[in-house]
Chains A and B, each alone.
Chain A
Amino acid sequence: QSALTQPASVSGSPGQSITIPCTGTSSDVGSYNLVSWYQNHPGKAPKLMIYEGSKRPSGVSDRFSGSKSGNMASLTISGLQAEDEADYYCCSYADNRIVVFGGGTKLTVL
């Protein structure tokens, strides 16, 4: 099972919106609404930001939103803030009850 595909980096200015795409296949993203997104600050444990494609856990800002179209999922962060600078990973359930992660995207807030 191959990793999901994410851009290595994205950037945006404070207050702007950015979108991070995550491309999978019909064996994972395309077939299941079970994509999750994680924020990972260096030296810290990853934090769940989005689950089941578009749901936010309690305590996660509504500036974070998720969506899916076909084999591609996306994470959108609106009203960028300095503390949003981190690595972001997508993750999906895949056939045969396994889990695959994306390679990660480094978000830089300019």
Chain B
Amino acid sequence: QVQLQESGPGLVKPSQTLSLTCTVSGGSISSYGYHWSWIRQHPGKGLEWIGYIYYSGSTYYNPSLKSRVTISVDASKNQFSLKLSSVTAADTAVYYCAREKGYSFDLWGRGTLVTVSS
């Protein structure tokens, strides 16, 4: 079955760029009708939608993060990626990649903790 797996550094310095990749296995990232999303959860807090991308490259971002976020897709590798620039301690969170269809998220990765600290 389709699985998602996040990967990337667990520690990022303040002011630098956070970069994560989500690898899709067991299915194609080009499957019709799915968006591929990033969602984060601050420690002990709720979920925050970051944005999503369609395999064709169309992107939609949370307005509160839009100026710092870039989501891209590499269909040849069956991966999509997140870049968040100018990070601060407030960006410390568990980052999830997820598959979205009809604006609900039916499949999630296990999540990866990213800590912003010098």
Interface positions of A (Cβ within 8 A of B): 1, 3, 32, 34, 36, 38, 40, 45-48, 51-52, 57, 89, 91-93, 97-104
B104's partner among A1, A34, A98 (CB-CB below 8 A) is A34
The 6 closest A-B pairs by CB, nearest first: A36-B104, A51-B104, A93-B103, A45-B108, A104-B46, A99-B49
Chain B interface helix/strand/loop/mixed: strand
* Interface contact A36-B63, CB-CB below 8 Å: no
Nearest Cβ in chain B — how far from A29, in angstroms?
A: 12
Contacts of B77 in A (CB 8 A): none
A-B contact count (CB 8 A): 63
Judge whether B26 is part of the interface by a CB distance below 8 angstroms: no
Closest to B48 in A: A101
Contact B103 A101 (CB under 8 A): no
Across the interface, do B105 and A48 meet the contact criterion of CB distance under 8 Å? yes
Taking CB atoms, residues of chain A closer than 8 Å to B102 are 34, 51-52
Complex: chain B residue closest to A49, CB-CB: B104
9 further A-B contacts with Cβ under 8 Å, apart from A40-B47, A99-B103, are A1-B63, A36-B104, A38-B47, A45-B109, A46-B105, A52-B102, A57-B106, A98-B49, A98-B60
